[in-house]
Amino acid sequence: MDVGIEVPAIPGMDRQMRELIDFCRRMDLDFININELEFSETNSMNLLGRGFTIKNDVESGAKGSAEMAIEMVREYSEFPVHYCSARFKDSVQLKNRLKRRARNIARPIDVVTKDGTIIRGIIEVDNVYEAKSRLLSVGLKEEMIHMNIPRKRLEVPPWILPDLKKKVNYEMYEVEEYPTWDALEVERLKI
């Protein structure tokens, strides 16, 4: 197991950061990760009250934080000092959250992608009850059909759609969705 410390790069605290890095070296730790100080909904008023400003309208990092972290990385080339920008951290954490959630909510009839989205076979119909009965009558098993009544669709394993299309005449799609409460659709392929 590697042991290290992860801290934000707080502009104006260069001396304290150097002391912390020196402490890590003396304690024989394996690394220190320095994260860009980031404005969020929960800390923005506190950071503004302490005189910090956001670096621009697009990114959430604090002005001067990235520069301070990069300076530490350059200065301590003989010790593993790593820098993680707010943008990179957000993208990695979001992707990891999506993957975790997809694995937790996926049913046996779903396919989880490497990006953390879910691929489903869907059949869009006006009457999901009638359509489900029809699918059962052509040999589909009960556990392979999920009724999504609010969205007026049946969800089935995507890998069975081509064979199913030969047996019933419904609008069928393979859809890729985020594993979120609203199941935001990323892509749709008509079968």
90, pLDDT greater than 80: no
Residue that is written with structure tokens 């002391």 in the block: 19
91, pLDDT greater than 80: no
The CA distance from 47 to 119, in Å, is 41
Closest CA to 37 of 69, 8, 14: 8
172, pLDDT greater than 90: yes
At 119, the pLDDT band (50, 70, 90 cuts) reads very high
34, pLDDT greater than 90: yes
Q: Are 7 and 35 in contact (CB under 8 A)?
A: yes
Please give the C-alpha separations between residue 80 and each of 4, 76, 93, in angstroms, as whole numbers.
Answer: 10, 8, 22
pTM of this prediction? 0.61
At 60, the pLDDT band (50, 70, 90 cuts) reads confident
Closest CA to 170 of 158, 153, 157: 153
